[in-house]
Each structure stands twice: as C-alpha cells, then as structure tokens.
Amino acid sequence: MVHTRTQREIEKIAKSCQIVADTLIMLEKHIVSGAKVSELDRMAEEFIRSRGARPAFKGYMGYPATLCVSIDDAVVHGIPGENILQGGQIVGIDCGAELNGYYGDHARTFAVGKVDAEKEKLMAVTRESLNRAIEQAVPGNYVGDIGYAVQSYVESNGFSVVRELVGHGIGTELHEEPQIPNYGQEKQGHPLCPGMCIAIEPMINAGAKEVFTAQDGWTIMTRDGKASAHYEHTIAITKDAPQILSVGSDG
Ligand code: MF3
Ligand code: CO
C-alpha cells in the first residue's frame, strides 16, 4: 500500500534523512586518492550511531555494510572492501539510517581528484536529472512524470537510464510502495499526493543501459564497462513545492 504521512511522521523521516545527509557531508573530505573504502564505511557507521541512529542497509537482506560504495563502472550496491580510492575515479556513496522506526535514504556521486570530461558531464547530468524529477513530484502529477523527466533529460544528453533498479516509497520501511522508475511516460502510473514520501534515485550510465550483478552477489555493474553515476534524495510531496528531506542539518 502507498502511505501518506502526517506532518509529525514527515518530521521523523526528515531527522533520519538529515543524519544521512550529514554523514555524506562528513565523508566528503575523506574521499581522496589513497582512502581505504572500508575505513569510509567504518567512519559512516560510527557517525550514524553517534547520532543515536542505526545504519539502515546493514543486515537488510543480508547486506554487510553501512554504505554502498560504487566506483566507476559499478552502478550501485558496491560492498566496501579493502580497496583504495584512486584519482580519476567517480564514487557513488549511498547511505541509509533509521531513527525511532523511520528511515532516510540518500546518495551522491563524488569525484576523486580530477576526472575526465565524460565523467564530469555524467555527474552533472545525473544530478540535474534528479532535480528535474523532484520538480515533478507535485500533486496532480503521476509517478510516470518523474520517470519521464529523468529519461528525457538523460537521453537528450546521450546517456542511458538503468531499468533494473528503481526509487521507492520510504517511511517506516526502507522500501515501500510505490516503485519510482527513472523512465516512463507522462501522466502514467500512481498519482502523487500530499504526504507521500519517496526516494528518487536516478542511476545513469555513460554508455549502454545494460547491467549485470557481480560475483559478490550485490554489486551492479555496467555491461560495457563505462562509468555510471547515482544521486538520491528522500522527498516529501506537499500541496506546494516538494520538500527535500535529505539535506544537512548544518547548512
Ligand atoms: N538506496 C538503495 C536502495 O534504495 C540502498 C539499498 S542498499 C541495500 O535500493 F544494501 F540495503 F540493499
Ligand atoms: Co533508495
């Protein structure tokens, strides 16, 4: 079922979202050449727990870590390991937290040092596709309007939309209905109503849209080996403009 949340519930979701946004802000200065990925994960877990929350991904369907860290041709769900970041890579960092039974989910893609022009453009287009999607999250629109906004912008820039993974409702569970695909048609799908809380998360490939699951059973990779980017915000639909919940508490 699709939930609509009260103002009080939205405030609780917003708290969890702020913790996650602050976690990524904290991590940002550590995303440098030479950083060990497992160390980023350890710092994130410690930070989330210090705020009284719990890492939402750890233990979810057996997932072993606090963060998903997805480098270059890894699209999403990369498991943090002993690997070391290198200049020129782009790194998607996805994080979830749960506080008092309410969830927040948020992801950004970071450049390690200087990256090539294609990766720069991929990050900018993916970020802008998320902004355009959020603008569509208003009453009177439909889930398909969100997907259409992402797909039309991304494809007009020569990039492609991953189909196998989608955004989602969020609240008292990490993944709730409805699914929020990053492709679709205007005025199709579930109607959007005030009080709905959703995570919108475009996963955009520089090359072809096809992906596969790596040997570890989690990491989603591009088939053609080209780079992929991922940004995610948790938002609340209101009678006015959408409210982005996954923003830092200190600015
Ligand atoms: N943001 C991702 C999603 O909504 C995080 C899930 S990762 C998992 O699918 F490891 F927890 F599954
Ligand atoms: Co999500």
Residue 21 confidence (pLDDT): 98
What is the residue type of 189? G
The pTM for the full model equals 0.98
Domain parsing of the chain, residue ranges = 7-240
Q: What percent of the chain has pLDDT over 70?
A: 99
Residue 251 confidence (pLDDT): 46
Q: Is the CB of 170 under 6 A from ligand 1?
A: no
- SS3 state of residue 233: strand
Q: Is the CB of 232 under 6 A from ligand 1?
A: yes
Which among 168, 162, 138, 164 has a CA at the least distance from the CA of 150? 162
Please give the DSSP secondary-structure letter assigned to residue 1.
-
User: Relative to the CA of 174, which ligand 1 atom is closest?
Assistant: 4
How confident is the model over 41-46, as a mean pLDDT?
A: 98
Which among 44, 55, 54 has a CA at the least distance from the CA of 22? 44
On the question of pLDDT at 88 being above 80, the answer is: yes
On the question of pLDDT at 221 being above 80, the answer is: yes
Task: Work out the burial of residue 25: count CB atoms within 10 Å of its CB; fewer than 13 is exposed, 13-18 middle, 19 or more buried.
Answer: middle
How confident is the model over 64-85, as a mean pLDDT?
A: 98
On the question of pLDDT at 73 being above 70, the answer is: yes
Which among 60, 71, 15, 68 has a CA at the least distance from the CA of 44? 68
Per-residue pLDDT band at 250 (split at 50, 70, 90): low
Tell me how far the alpha carbon of residue 241 is from its chain's centroid: 20
CATH number, domain 7-240: 3.90.230.10
